[in-house]
Structure 1
Amino acid sequence: MLGGGDGTVGASPQAQSPPAADDVRAQLEILLGSPDLDAPARARRFLRYVVEETLAGRADRIKAYTIGTEVFARSADFDAQNDPAVRIEAGRLRRALGRYYLSDGLTDPVVITIPKGAYVPHFAWRTLQAAKPHPSPGAAPTGHRVDSPPRRWTPWLGVASLVVFIVAGLVFWGPWRDGMSGSPQASTPSPPGGPTLVVLPFAALGEPSAARTYADGLTEEVLSQFARFKEITVLGREMSRSIPSGADAARLRRDLGIRYVLEGSVQVAAHRLRIMGRLLDAQTGAVLWSQTYDEDLHVRDLFSIQDDVARKVATAVAQPYGIIHRADQTRTSTRAPNDLEAYGCTLRFYDYRAALSDKSHAATRTCLEQAVALHPEYATAWAMLSVLYLDEDRFGFNPRAGSSTPIQRSLEAARRAIRLDPENARALQALMVALFFAQQPAEALEVGERAVALNPNDTELLGEFGTRVGQVGAWQRGAELLEQALTRNRGHSGYYSGTLAVYAYMQRDYARAESLIRQAALDKFPLYHFVAAVICAQLGKATEAAEARDAFLRMRPTIFEHWDDEMAKRNYRPEDAAHFAEGARKAGFPVPARTAAEMALQAATHQR
């Protein structure tokens, strides 16, 4: 545990006094000096102002009006009631702090938050639970004094970063100042062959002052939402702001290598708000997606509207099986097979996940192994490879002999992906599943909670997390998460429907379970036939149960020799594993006469 202010080891954070002013100021400098705090300069000034005012005993002065006039340099007639600038910046800062403390700030000793509905910050010691998962390299060892937090930002590093920032600004600004005559370098390393997206500033239409504020806030939030998807590269806000309104998509592609352009507008009339967005293919100029969102500011507040619309845009465009994925899949499929390099392998992975067949498993595994050999720093490819290694064990697809087990190889690949990119949704998803099948469900769900918090818009991740939540017995919550994933993304509907069928079976709603397993229609996937067999058996449909049973036994004839192991690795509760055994016997499967789960339930009954 973190030590107390006197340096003693093992003191409970809850038992300590609140952080002293020096502790808070040290943490403030860590925050403001961290490149991982995703907040613009104005939000950082906002944070410093409210923290210093609170420490000086002037928290009662922290109002929207004083922030607007003293931080944002608004005039004395600033109307805080009708101008939402402060509310928007506060919301942006809350989200930036939340993301920071879930990633780079996991081991920071002091947590600074801005509670919703207010602007006065709250200071607290980091609790053990929050600090536990995945400590950052160089984190303080147990017993480190919290009144001397590790500094990750030194003055010379700040000067060096400033120089780099100025040089980068000249590199990126030059082409636009000179009519886009140059070829600037990419702002961040992109996935090998992966798509690059720029978000143009949303245009402000209608009432000028309000529309401009709304448009700026929405552009920032859309950028933040897109940045969570690691399969695409999104140019940063400075680059986005430097591009003039109405820039030609073809020139963006030629001069910056941009593949996709997102543009939009915000129109305000009285209390009505209309937001329009569209995605352009920079190579062809084609509109790949467009959507209009009409909102009423009397019904929902601006902050909720901004969050909701940005989430919907990012989910539709950037998620697995979304607009960019489908467009890239079409483009990649037209190449010769020997041209399918690293990024093409990630597209193959999603095809495999939709079909779940041993043939596509083998081809995708080979492709991804070649990709990481060429690009060992490609975190997403390592994460996908982790899932494929695990599927050798859980689905029996193309198992390899060797000194290490599929689960060991899966864990190793997932952890390598995490080391390369700690916030990569696919890496966190892979680690969650690998830990789950390594029979560490608590650790797996902890990773899953963190991953969903980092990117709640990723439906591939949401569906996988819902699957694991249900398997440990929280069937209702798991079903709700999967339903959300299905509603927002039909691209993986077969797998989700099959999992929901299991949930309905466990809740003894066999009629709904049958309807769902028919929707899954994964004929090449062995477990599809097992689930169909036990459901039909419980419904008394002997013929259908026998057909599904025979199909499964042709694919996985030896699985019942290891029945207890199969149930244990999926972390089913004894009552749920026994329920599966009951249905399997009715369907005619060679289940052991007494399973480990049934014996455990019997022993528990005798103890009562």
Structure 2
Amino acid sequence: MLDGSDGTAGASQAQLQPAAEDVRTQLDILLASPDLDASARARKFLRYVVEETLAGRANRIKAYAIGTEVFSRSADFDAQGDPVVRIEAGRLRRALERYYLSDGQADPVVITIPKGAYIPHFSWHTPPAADASASVAPQTHNPVATPPRRRWTPWLTAASIVLAFLAGLVLWGTWRDSAPRTLQTSAHVPPGGPTLVVMPFAALGEPSAARTYADGLTEEVLSQFARFKEITVLGRETSRSIPPGADAARIRHDLGVRYVLEGSVRAAAHRLRIAGRLLDADTGAVLWSQTYDEDLQVRDLLTIQDDVARKVATAVAQPYGIIQRAYQTRTSARPPDDLEAYACTLRFYDYRAALSEESHATIRTCLERAVALHPEFATAWAMLAVLYLDEDRFGFNPRTEPVTAVQRSLDAARRAIRLDPENVRALQSMMMALFFARQPDEALAVGERAVALNPNDTELLGEFGTCLAQAGTWQRGAELIEQALARNPGHSGYYSGVLAVYAYMQHDYAQAESLIRQAALEKFPLYHFVAAVIYAQLGKAPEAAEARDQFLRMRPTIFEHWDEEMAKRNYRPEDAAHYAEGARKAGFPVPAQTAAEVALQASPPQR
């Protein structure tokens, strides 16, 4: 109740919780603060949930209500299919956490949005003491009208310190003897996949500043890691329960994790040195380490935290990152029949790097077996959607079934999203399936949502960049692919191939040749086609003939339906016509007049 009129317990609670006017004052401070790193839409979200709670309507705060009343979605808004509310809630939650770790440390009232809900929680930054005789009622989400009484006395302060010390000893003993084993996961964690715990970053140098920086960086790293669904990351409560100096072997024994990320922040004047390293908890081996030097006079703290956390997460947790490579090395020694379902996802990334028809069939079968055993495994369904699509777009191992490959791809992608709406791999597969179903606008909208969820995922960046480029947004597409290449140089063949096409479309044939030579995807048919048209435009007839003959050996019938191949890739008429020009020069049996060329001839001249 807002008036706190339910007896002694209510009176004690009134001392512990902020009044409605205190909460509104804090809300005004937040919304006016340039230090709250939140968009106008997120601030509107915050005001809505706070005011609804203060008005006693917390039970109305649901995804549908937020979507329609805050984000102006229509009455048929589907909160499961459109994750806008979940995405914005996550961003707002992180923005509030950062604010209170830095510029909001002195604010009297703390407003948070607990994970898994949209109803805000209100508390005093330093909870005031209650009367010794009062029994304390459990906290609720509703603020109370009576302002707190602040009766801190020296003896109470001393008692608090003693109690905190004793509580710390109890927690340490509990962790040491019976460590918590509950992971912060969902029902959709990868079966048999790697697990990781992020140790609280150690504070070195100036104690007060370094501690704030270290705490904020730990939180941001946890948030960034949580975006990658192929690994399981223990929650922040478990991370915080690990005592300083605990060794990796003990953490492995007590928590059952395989990988430990630890780091430190050293502050001196306006300089920061941030160090991080990844340990194999089984062996104690250092799998990765990196140091970042930053200047607070050049970049602000939140920008530094966000940038460093992104770099750490990308290096360690992305699909082609340190953990995946280490885990694959460990599992590859087992006989193929004994590989767990998760191993199929690792082999999927091998296939994506080489784009080999031989491995396509094997991994498709493996993933089909995985989803049969684990029908809730969203990531496996998403990867299977990509393999089904490759039957159509690359001609790999097509099946003669009543349902087309593109439709099977769409069905698998939809299932993945139903299982886990915020799974980036699921959204990526839906984007790709929609794109080849000739729905490019819908596909690119899904791609934008996926990148908003995890801009560190190089597999996603490369595929989204490819879709953007083929649909005509060549420059932005190329920029995303170059980002993916910079973050994941080990996957350079695929990225270089797409960048070669970009250079070709810009008539920069010399750059296109340099890039296609770097690609070297010998088992991928379209690699040879792109190489042939580039060499032909450069007048290098022998090289063009060799690449042409290799492609025709691999895909001899593709030119019988040339127009369809161009259409399903959503090329603009001018780009498809440019391809046809180069293909004819290379000696490919392209139709005498393609649909794209007819469309261009029918178009009015540009003025």
1:186 corresponds to: 183
Alignment partner of 2:174 out of 141, 161, 177: 177
Distance 2:242 2:505 in 1: 55
Post-superposition Cα deviations, 1:477-499, rounded to whole Å, max 9, x if no partner, equal: 11111111101111321111001
2:432 corresponds to: 433
Per-residue deviation at 1:302? 0.7
1:127 equivalenced with 2:99 (yes/no): no
2:125 corresponds to: none
Distance 1:517 1:599 in 2: 30
2:597 corresponds to: 598
Q: Gaps (5+ residues) in structure 1?
A: 1-24, 26-44, 65-85, 112-123, 140-150, 163-169
Contact 1:357–1:524, Cα closer than 8 Å, also in 2: yes
TM-aligned CA distance change 1:108 to 1:247, over 3 Å: farther
Distance 2:138 2:580 in 1: 64
Q: Which amino acid aligns with 1:397?
A: F
Per-residue deviation at 1:438? 0.3
Contact 2:548–2:587, Cα closer than 8 Å, also in 1: yes
The alignment partner of 1:198 has SS state of strand
Distance 1:214 1:95 in 2: 27
Post-superposition Cα deviations, 1:280-330, rounded to whole Å, max 9, x if no partner, equal: 001101110111111111111111111111111001000011110110111
Per-residue deviation at 1:187? 3.7
Q: Which amino acid aligns with 2:493?
A: G
2:537 corresponds to: 538
Per-residue deviation at 1:177? 1.7
1:38 corresponds to: none
Q: Which amino acid aligns with 2:328?
A: Q
1:466-545 equivalences under 5 Å are 466-545=465-544
Distance 1:202 1:357 in 2: 42
TM-aligned CA distance change 1:354 to 1:97, over 3 Å: farther
Contact 2:183–2:235, Cα closer than 8 Å, also in 1: no
1:250 corresponds to: 249
Post-superposition Cα deviations, 1:389-415, rounded to whole Å, max 9, x if no partner, equal: 000000000001111000000000001
Contact 1:175–1:182, Cα closer than 8 Å, also in 2: no
2:315 corresponds to: 316
1:345 corresponds to: 344
TM-aligned CA distance change 1:458 to 1:570, over 3 Å: same
The alignment partner of 1:268 has SS state of strand
Contact 1:432–1:447, Cα closer than 8 Å, also in 2: yes
Q: Which amino acid aligns with 1:135?
A: A
1:392 corresponds to: 391
Per-residue deviation at 1:332? 1.1
Distance 1:61 1:565 in 2: 54
1:450 corresponds to: 449
Contact 1:107–1:136, Cα closer than 8 Å, also in 2: no
CA RMSD of aligned residues (A): 3.4
Q: Which amino acid aligns with 2:468?
A: V
Post-superposition Cα deviations, 1:197-234, rounded to whole Å, max 9, x if no partner, equal: 00011011111111111110000000000000000001
Post-superposition Cα deviations, 1:29-51, rounded to whole Å, max 9, x if no partner, equal: xxxxxxxxxxxxxxxx99x9897
TM-aligned CA distance change 1:456 to 1:183, over 3 Å: closer
TM-aligned CA distance change 1:420 to 1:210, over 3 Å: same
Contact 2:577–2:594, Cα closer than 8 Å, also in 1: yes
Instruction: Give the TM-score taking structure 1 as reference length.
Output: 0.76
TM-aligned CA distance change 1:606 to 1:281, over 3 Å: closer
1:270 corresponds to: 269
Contact 2:64–2:77, Cα closer than 8 Å, also in 1: no
Contact 1:197–1:235, Cα closer than 8 Å, also in 2: yes
Q: Which amino acid aligns with 2:571?
A: Y
Instruction: Give the TM-score taking structure 2 as reference length.
Output: 0.76
Per-residue deviation at 1:184? 2.7
Per-residue deviation at 1:108? 4.4
TM-aligned CA distance change 1:603 to 1:279, over 3 Å: same
Contact 2:180–2:238, Cα closer than 8 Å, also in 1: no
Contact 2:172–2:243, Cα closer than 8 Å, also in 1: no
Distance 2:138 2:360 in 1: 47
Per-residue deviation at 1:175? 8.3
Distance 1:535 1:105 in 2: 55
The alignment partner of 1:462 has SS state of helix
2:129 corresponds to: none
Percent identity of equivalent pairs = 73
Distance 2:469 2:327 in 1: 33
Distance 2:496 2:211 in 1: 43
Q: Which amino acid aligns with 1:195?
A: P
The alignment partner of 2:604 has SS state of helix
Q: Which amino acid aligns with 1:519?
A: Q
The alignment partner of 1:265 has SS state of strand
TM-aligned CA distance change 1:564 to 1:245, over 3 Å: same
Distance 1:302 1:594 in 2: 59
Distance 1:541 1:318 in 2: 43
Post-superposition Cα deviations, 1:554-578, rounded to whole Å, max 9, x if no partner, equal: 0000000110100000000111111
The alignment partner of 1:491 has SS state of helix
Distance 1:394 1:548 in 2: 20
1:205 corresponds to: 204
Distance 2:536 2:82 in 1: 56
TM-aligned CA distance change 1:185 to 1:300, over 3 Å: closer
1:270-289 equivalences under 5 Å are 270-289=269-288
Contact 1:249–1:285, Cα closer than 8 Å, also in 2: yes
1:355 equivalenced with 2:354 (yes/no): yes
Contact 1:537–1:583, Cα closer than 8 Å, also in 2: yes
1:332 corresponds to: 331
Distance 2:193 2:452 in 1: 25
TM-aligned CA distance change 1:607 to 1:271, over 3 Å: closer
Distance 2:194 2:44 in 1: 28
Per-residue deviation at 1:53? 2.6
Q: Which amino acid aligns with 1:441?
A: P
Q: Which amino acid aligns with 2:292?
A: Y
Per-residue deviation at 1:516? 0.5
Distance 1:524 1:373 in 2: 30
1:119 corresponds to: none
Q: Which amino acid aligns with 1:280?
A: L
The alignment partner of 1:605 has SS state of coil
Distance 2:329 2:31 in 1: 53
Q: Which amino acid aligns with 1:243?
A: I
The alignment partner of 2:25 has SS state of helix
Q: Which amino acid aligns with 1:197?
A: L
Per-residue deviation at 1:180? 3.4
Indicate the structure (1 or 2) with the bigger Cα radius of gyration: 2
2:239 corresponds to: 240
Post-superposition Cα deviations, 1:547-606, rounded to whole Å, max 9, x if no partner, equal: 111000000000001101000000001111111111111111111111111111111138
Distance 1:407 1:61 in 2: 48
Q: Which amino acid aligns with 2:183?
A: A
Contact 1:92–1:221, Cα closer than 8 Å, also in 2: no
Distance 1:605 1:95 in 2: 42
Q: Gaps (5+ residues) in structure 2?
A: 3-16, 48-60, 84-115, 121-136, 141-166
TM-aligned CA distance change 1:393 to 1:205, over 3 Å: same
Alignment partner of 1:52 out of 24, 36, 39: 24
1:298 corresponds to: 297
Distance 2:22 2:445 in 1: 32
Post-superposition Cα deviations, 1:8-27, rounded to whole Å, max 9, x if no partner, equal: xxxxxxxxxxxxxxxxx9xx
The alignment partner of 2:490 has SS state of coil
TM-aligned CA distance change 1:341 to 1:178, over 3 Å: closer
Aligned residue pairs: how many?
Answer: 500
